[in-house]
């Protein structure tokens, strides 16, 4: 029996200890064990479609596992110097990554493996063991191994662990040279180095293994693209991406997490990525000890259950500690401690497709030169509050904002969430055109448009000329408090369907509010992290929705 089958049997016997994503992944892998998989790829170089049949080679699947357990040594604590014994879940992961090969060429199927798991589950040791294997025993001449992060200190974590493993192992220490600038295996002219985005140059690399560690802290989305492209000349390279969850939303991590989730649930086909995500299925499971293993597959062995119990008790008494506990020990995506909404509060991946012939309420947040401009339409349909938005950014600022903000504006532009407007300043005519577009193409009928009067007189007059009824939304505690509280409650209850708009999701995650002595709240742009323009636009619409709710519901003859 393979480790994959053994682990899948364990999963079936312990359903409350394994999250849905892991169950889905390994059930699919077991099916692939039984039936060779035929996959077609389009070859850009030849312009032809190639067909490959992938089979499982058990002998190849065990080479990395056997190497790690035979030659790699633990480097810290009471186990220092002792052989590194892999856990069943780690063996199943490695056996999958290294075991599936092309029937004709024998080359590995997976070029990228993703492992997201809570801290202190042996992630760095696993990375380091794989690095030492591919440096010496993968059969790659002149192997180039890189541990990569945005900061050199983080990039060196896995590299330093590999070095310690080697020095603790008599067999490896005799054959591998560990120097200040790198780890060298002279038998095949191979090396292992730590590399950061602030290194002198990332050009000219010919990577055979790239380890991208703690991706939750990455802000440079181009770094991963550059490193993946650096593997293109190798026959069977591997990019190994590992991380815990983080508190920075809509950066590299969220892009990778969302894509991996789509591959897992079958929405997006990707035969060269093997994604495994350990997490709680629901945030409330942090209170149920039986569920803790969903995010911590090494709980009770590598990771101390006593330590988590103590942290949970502290978090019950001190909510400030809860964000860090959920994020790092239970692998639940979070926002910063000061954020108004938790990620679970705001996250809603529900989609809608048919939204026509509907009375709506609009909102708009017009930008200064450097901010986003956002327009919103809010309408009730099938007992849900549906949100449609469009964002604009000045044409000349797009490239600079991608670099400076480390936010994928270019990707959002390509996917239709964002539009370019003007040269260095938004042309507000484009905002008017969007509202007219929604009326003409979808028969959406805005009854009122809420707006902040700052810098909006010309635009407001133009909108009135086209027949829109404009309502000024004065910023302040009195105006914002009740609508913001209602908006938060509706987000938490998943009544608001915003079509999984990534820009709004990012904006909502950045929001910080301020409170007066009477516990009234308002948006705080000066304290919020990065852009909140989409949240401000939504709030303008919500102010009208709350203040005119009965009148609006009379139009649509529905109740929310």
Q: How far apart are CA 5 and CA 428, in angstroms?
A: 59
Q: How far apart are CA 392 and CA 419, in angstroms?
A: 5
**Residue 559: per-residue pLDDT:** 45
Which residue bears the tokens 């440096």?
A: 135
Q: Collect the ranges in the chain with pLDDT lower than 70.
A: 42-45, 77-78, 198-203, 247-250, 319-320, 335-339, 368-370, 402-406, 517, 527-529, 558-560
Q: How far apart are CA 372 and CA 367, in angstroms?
A: 6
Kind of pairing between the strands at 183-185 and 373-381: unpaired
Q: Across the strands, what pairs with 236?
A: none
Q: Is 30 helix (H, G, I), strand (E, B) or coil?
A: helix
**Residue 405: per-residue pLDDT:** 65
Give start and end residues of each alpha helix (H) in 329-397: 343-346
Whether the CB-CB separation of 469 and 449 falls below 8 Å is answered with yes
**Residue 291: per-residue pLDDT:** 96
Q: How far apart are CA 531 and CA 373, in angstroms?
A: 10
User: Could you tell me the two tokens for 180?
Assistant: 């200040």
Q: How far apart are CA 136 and CA 143, in angstroms?
A: 8
Whether the CB-CB separation of 385 and 495 falls below 8 Å is answered with yes
Q: Is 143 helix (H, G, I), strand (E, B) or coil?
A: coil
- pLDDT tens digits along 183-192: 999 999 999 9
- pLDDT tens digits along 22-70: 999 999 999 999 888 888 776 666 777 778 899 999 999 999 999 999 9
* Structural domains in the chain, sorted by start: 3-277 (3.40.50.300), 346-556 (3.30.420.240)
Kind of pairing between the strands at 358-365 and 373-381: antiparallel
Closest among 368, 506, 364, 502 to 433, alpha carbons compared? 364
3-state SS track over 283-313: HHHHHCHHHHHHCCCCECCCECHHHHHHHHH
Kind of pairing between the strands at 444-451 and 496-497: unpaired
Whether the CB-CB separation of 108 and 63 falls below 8 Å is answered with no
Q: How far apart are CA 288 and CA 297, in angstroms?
A: 15
Ramachandran angles phi, psi of 263, nearest 5° = -65, -40
**Residue 468: per-residue pLDDT:** 95
Q: Is 521 helix (H, G, I), strand (E, B) or coil?
A: strand
User: Could you tell me the two tokens for 473?
Assistant: 């939304």
């Amino acid at each position: 029996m393979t480790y994959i089958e053994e682990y899948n049997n364990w999963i079936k016997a312990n359903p409350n200890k394994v999250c849905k994503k892991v169950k889905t992944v390994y059930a699919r892998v077991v099916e692939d064990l039984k039936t060779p998989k035929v996959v077609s790829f389009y070859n850009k170089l030849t312009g032809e479609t190639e067909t490959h049949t992938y089979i499982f080679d058990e002998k190849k699947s065990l080479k990395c596992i056997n190497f790690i357990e035979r030659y790699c040594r633990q480097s810290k604590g009471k186990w220092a110097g002792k052989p590194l014994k892999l856990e069943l879940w780690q063996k199943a992961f490695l056996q999958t990554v290294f075991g599936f090969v092309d029937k004709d060429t024998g080359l590995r199927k997976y070029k990228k493996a993703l492992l997201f798991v809570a801290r202190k589950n042996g992630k760095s040791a696993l990375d380091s063991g794989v690095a030492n294997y591919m440096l010496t025993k993968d059969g790659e001449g002149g192997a180039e191994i890189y541990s990569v992060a945005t900061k050199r200190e983080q990039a060196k974590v896995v590299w330093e662990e590999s070095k310690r493993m080697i020095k603790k192992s008599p067999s490896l220490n005799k054959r591998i040279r560990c120097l200040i600038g790198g780890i060298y295996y002279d038998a095949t002219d191979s090396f292992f180095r730590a590399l950061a985005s602030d290194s002198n140059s990332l050009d000219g690399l010919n990577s055979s293994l790239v380890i991208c560690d703690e991706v939750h802290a990455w802000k440079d989305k181009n770094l991963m693209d550059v490193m993946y492209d650096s593997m293109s000349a190798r026959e069977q390279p591997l990019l190994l991406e590992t991380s815990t969850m983080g508190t920075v939303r809509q950066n590299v991590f969220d892009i990778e997490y969302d894509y991996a989730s789509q591959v897992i649930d079958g929405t997006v086909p990707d035969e060269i990525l093997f994604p495994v995500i350990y997490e709680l299925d629901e945030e409330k499971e942090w209170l149920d000890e039986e569920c803790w293993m969903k995010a911590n597959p090494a709980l009770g062995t590598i990771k101390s259950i006593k330590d988590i119990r103590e942290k949970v008790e502290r978090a019950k008494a001190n909510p400030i500690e809860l964000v860090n506990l959920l994020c790092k020990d239970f692998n639940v995506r979070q926002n910063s401690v000061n954020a108004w909404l938790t990620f679970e509060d705001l996250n809603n991946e529900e989609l809608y497709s048919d939204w026509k012939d509907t009375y709506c309420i609009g909102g708009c947040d017009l930008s200064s030169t450097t901010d986003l401009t956002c327009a919103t339409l809010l309408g009730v349909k099938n007992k849900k509050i549906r949100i449609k938005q469009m964002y604009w950014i000045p044409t000349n600022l797009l490239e600079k904002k991608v670099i400076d903000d480390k936010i994928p504006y270019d990707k959002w532009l390509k996917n239709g969430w964002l539009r370019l407007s003007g040269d260095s300043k938004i042309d507000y005519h484009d905002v008017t055109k969007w509202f007219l577009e929604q009326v003409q193409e979808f028969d959406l009928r805005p009854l009122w448009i809420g707006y902040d009067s700052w810098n909006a007189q010309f635009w407001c007059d133009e909108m009135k000329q086209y027949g829109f009824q404009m309502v000024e939304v004065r910023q302040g505690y009195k105006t914002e408090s009740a609508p913001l509280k209602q908006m938060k409650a509706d987000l938490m209850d998943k009544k608001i369907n915003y079509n999984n708009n990534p820009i709004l999701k990012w904006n909502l995650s950045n929001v910080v509010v301020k409170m007066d002595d009477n516990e009234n709240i308002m948006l705080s742009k000066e304290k919020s992290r990065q852009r909140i323009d989409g949240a401000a636009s939504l709030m303008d619409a919500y102010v009208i929705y709350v203040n005119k709710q009965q009148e609006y519901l009379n139009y649509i003859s529905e109740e929310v």
